[in-house]
């Protein structure tokens, strides 16, 4: 069990470019969550997957954001046409559905849009 | 709607002393869970302690204890015997115990600094 891995740790991109982040959850965890954390705030829920199905999306997740979890393993979060307001830490977490308090977070991907 | 309030942006504590970090919450759900997480500068959210809304006893995990006062809707974190490594951001969070995402709602956090 190597924990939740996120890649890259840091990403600097120019406004208007597309970026993609990857999250590898704990292998036996069937639930996967994406959160966004801006400076001085707590994490905010973006979306979650149970196995490969994306079951809920926050209204924070605009049309420029898309997330996938093919085969119920790793997940990707893509942001198209990045804006400066997208600059944030993007955190991934995983859990077992029957142990709802056992969330494990990754170290996050820090995105800076210049 | 769920809301978590942490009114202390920053706290200082002397090494080896105890410190209490405040958290109040607002929900109309009868069943919910309360969490505390530590976030060091590396960015990872580290789980510290969990309290279920129906738990009769306050949760404890090593040097961490949760002072749960349901009627006041408060869930304060007590860290005993503070260590320099405890310096970090601390977040209180709540989860609704309903079918669905079971995602966490976080407060704005408290930055704890342990003074040698």
B16 to chain A nearest CA, in Å?
27
Which letter, b or e, does each residue of B78-101 get, where b requires 16 or more Cβ atoms within 10 Å of its Cβ?
bbeebeeebbbbbbbbbbbeeeeb
Average pLDDT over chain B, rounded to whole?
Answer: 93
**What tokens were used for B12?**
């200082």
Which letter, b or e, does each residue of B67-77 get, where b requires 16 or more Cβ atoms within 10 Å of its Cβ?
ebeeeebbbbb
Q: How confident is the model over B52-85, as pLDDT tens digits?
A: 999 989 999 999 999 999 999 999 999 999 999 9
Average pLDDT over chain A, rounded to whole?
Answer: 92
Which of B45, B93, B97 faces A91 most closely, judged by CB atoms? B45
Is the pLDDT confidence value at A84 over 60? yes
What is the spatial distance between Cα B61 and Cα B74, in angstroms, rounded to a whole number?
18
CA dihedral angle for residue A62, residue A54, residue A3, residue A104, rounded to 10 degrees: 80
| Residue in A closest to B44 by C-alpha | A107
Q: pLDDT at position B2, please?
A: 81
CA A111 centroid distance within chain? 12
Give the mean pLDDT of A30-55.
Answer: 93
Q: Answer whether B54 touches A (CB < 8 Å).
A: no
């Amino acid at each position: 069990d190597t924990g939740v891995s996120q890649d890259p740790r840091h990403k600097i991109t120019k406004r208007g470019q597309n970026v993609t982040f990857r999250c590898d959850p704990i292998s036996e965890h069937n639930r996967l969550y994406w959160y966004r954390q801006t400076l001085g705030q707590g994490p905010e829920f973006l979306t979650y997957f149970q196995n490969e199905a994306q079951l809920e999306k926050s209204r924070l997740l605009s049309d420029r954001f898309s997330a996938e979890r093919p085969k119920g393993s790793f997940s990707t979060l893509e942001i198209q046409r990045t804006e400066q307001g997208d600059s944030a830490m993007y955190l991934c977490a995983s859990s077992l559905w029957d142990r709802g308090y056992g969330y494990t977070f990754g170290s996050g991907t820090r995105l800076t849009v210049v | 709607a769920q809301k978590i309030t942490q009114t202390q942006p920053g706290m200082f504590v002397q090494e080896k002393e105890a410190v209490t970090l405040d958290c109040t919450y607002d929900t109309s759900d009868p069943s919910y869970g309360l969490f505390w997480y530590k976030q060091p500068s590396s960015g990872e959210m580290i789980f510290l302690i969990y309290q279920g809304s129906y738990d009769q006893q306050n949760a404890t995990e090593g040097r961490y204890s949760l002072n749960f006062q349901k009627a006041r809707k408060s869930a304060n974190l007590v860290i005993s015997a503070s260590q320099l490594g405890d310096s970090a951001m601390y977040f209180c969070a709540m989860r609704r115990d309903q079918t669905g995402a079971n995602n966490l709602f976080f407060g704005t956090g408290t930055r704890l600094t342990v003074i040698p």
